[in-house]
């Protein structure tokens, strides 16, 4: 059985070098100190020619070993999305064109998600349209907040409107958390390394991504764009655990939305593990949303799982549900085949 994984990443040395030069001018001293930890890690992955820069035989060999038939690729951290102005527009276009070339070399193994210059929402919407219509891309991945601003701000609406118009999904990916939150919540009687992990991939940026998606719901984004679909990584970034709590405490007569919170989580979101092959969250998402709302992912190469297929195949799913999660849902959501 084929397996499609939908949240897999790559980076380019050429793009990363330009990003570093352009981004440096925008950072405050505190942001620079925090960014140095993440950037050092990412730069090492890029400079050493690690798996994140390979879009050819090394990646294909991993996919074959892990049982992955198709990867849907998106640009990793240090993304042109984080930049301001026309520089973001130009570099995002370059990143997308580079990814298109890689997909052309292996059209049966790779599909692309666009990198968007969100600081220029109209340009971002135009780039999404270009990549979908001209390059055959299947949606876009958004790297968390932009310059510590959540995307529920009305100025970003052209991006969501265009995604709905084109019928392609978006993913809100975790990104760097706000600096005041970092200091208040995660700095303490432990090392900076513990702080960086705790505030990042250990927990912090997942919570922020969950809050981000909840803010989109509460802002009425899905009332304005009811056909819009978002992919929620890491089993929903904590939101499924609070589904009933949110419904109980944020009823429609308080939020003035068209529906309760659970409605949007069940109708406008798909859920994916992002390499978190953990039974508990998987069962929770199956219980709340059903197999028809789950798509598979490894989060390669930030996470490398050799059991991408084996874990899913041995989970004990009914054949119909296994086929849905392994490939059928992704084919429907991303318009593959």
Condensed to tens digits (0 to 9), the pLDDT of residues 109-135 reads 999 999 999 999 999 999 999 999 999
Q: What is the pLDDT of residue 50?
A: 82
pLDDT value, residue 38: 61
Q: What pLDDT does 176 receive?
A: 84
CA 31 – CA 307 distance, rounded (Å):
37
User: Within the chain, which residues score under 70 in pLDDT?
Assistant: 25-49
Whole-number pLDDT of residue 102: 96
End-to-end CA distance of the chain: 15
Rounded Cα gap, residues 88 and 220, in angstroms? 28
What confidence score (pLDDT) does residue 30 get? 52
- Specify the pLDDT at position 178: 85
The catalytic residues are 299
Query: Phi and psi (nearest 5°) for 2?
Result: -75, 155
What is the pLDDT, as a whole number, of residue 175?
87
- Own/partner long-range contacts of 246-254 (Cβ < 8 Å, ≥24 apart): 246/214, 250/218
The pLDDT value given to residue 45: 64
Strand partners, 151: none
Helix, strand counts (H, E) of the chain: 18, 7
Nearest CA to 137 out of 164, 157, 110, 119 is that of 110
Phi-psi region of 191 (alpha: psi -120 to 50; beta: other; left: phi over 0): beta
pTM: 0.94
Written out in words, the top-level CATH class of the domain with range 4-334 is alpha beta
Radius of gyration of the chain (CA): 19
Q: What's residue 37's pLDDT? A: 58
Contact (Cβ atoms closer than 8 angstroms) between residue 147 and residue 177: no
Q: Comparing C-alpha atoms, which of 122, 118, 181, 183 is closest to residue 144?
A: 118
């Amino acid at each position: 059985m084929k397996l499609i994984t939908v949240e897999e990443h790559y980076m380019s040395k050429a793009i990363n070098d330009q990003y570093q030069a352009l981004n440096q001018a925008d950072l405050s001293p505190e942001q620079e100190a925090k960014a140095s930890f993440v950037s050092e890690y990412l730069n090492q992955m890029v400079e050493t020619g690690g798996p994140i820069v390979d879009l050819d035989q090394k990646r294909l060999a991993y996919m074959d070993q892990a049982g992955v038939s198709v990867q849907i690729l998106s640009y990793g951290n240090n993304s042109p999305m984080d930049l301001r102005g026309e520089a973001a527009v130009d570099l995002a276009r370059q990143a997308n064109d580079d990814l298109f070339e890689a997909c052309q070399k292996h059209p049966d193994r790779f599909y692309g998600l666009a990198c968007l210059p969100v600081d220029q929402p109209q340009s971002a919407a135009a780039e999404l349209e270009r990549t979908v219509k001209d390059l055959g891309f299947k949606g876009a991945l958004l790297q968390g907040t932009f310059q510590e601003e959540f995307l529920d701000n009305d100025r970003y609406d052209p991006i969501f409107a265009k995604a709905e118009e084109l019928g392609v999904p978006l993913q809100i990916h975790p990104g760097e958390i706000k600096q005041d939150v970092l200091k208040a919540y995660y700095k303490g009687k432990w090392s900076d390394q513990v702080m960086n992990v705790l505030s990042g991939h250990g927990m912090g940026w997942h919570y922020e991504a969950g809050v981000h998606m909840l803010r989109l719901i509460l802002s009425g984004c899905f009332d304005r764009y009811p056909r819009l679909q978002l992919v929620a990584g890491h089993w929903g970034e904590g939101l499924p655990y609070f589904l009933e709590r949110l419904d109980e405490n944020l009823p429609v007569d308080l939020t003035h939305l068209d529906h309760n919170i659970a409605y949007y989580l069940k109708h406008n979101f798909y859920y994916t593990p992002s390499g978190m092959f953990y039974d508990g969250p998987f069962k929770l998402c199956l219980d709340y949303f059903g197999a028809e709302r789950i798509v598979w992912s490894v989060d390669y190469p930030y996470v490398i799982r050799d059991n991408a297929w084996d874990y899913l195949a041995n989970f004990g799913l009914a054949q119909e549900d296994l086929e849905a999660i392994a490939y059928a849902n992704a084919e429907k959501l991303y318009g593959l085949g």
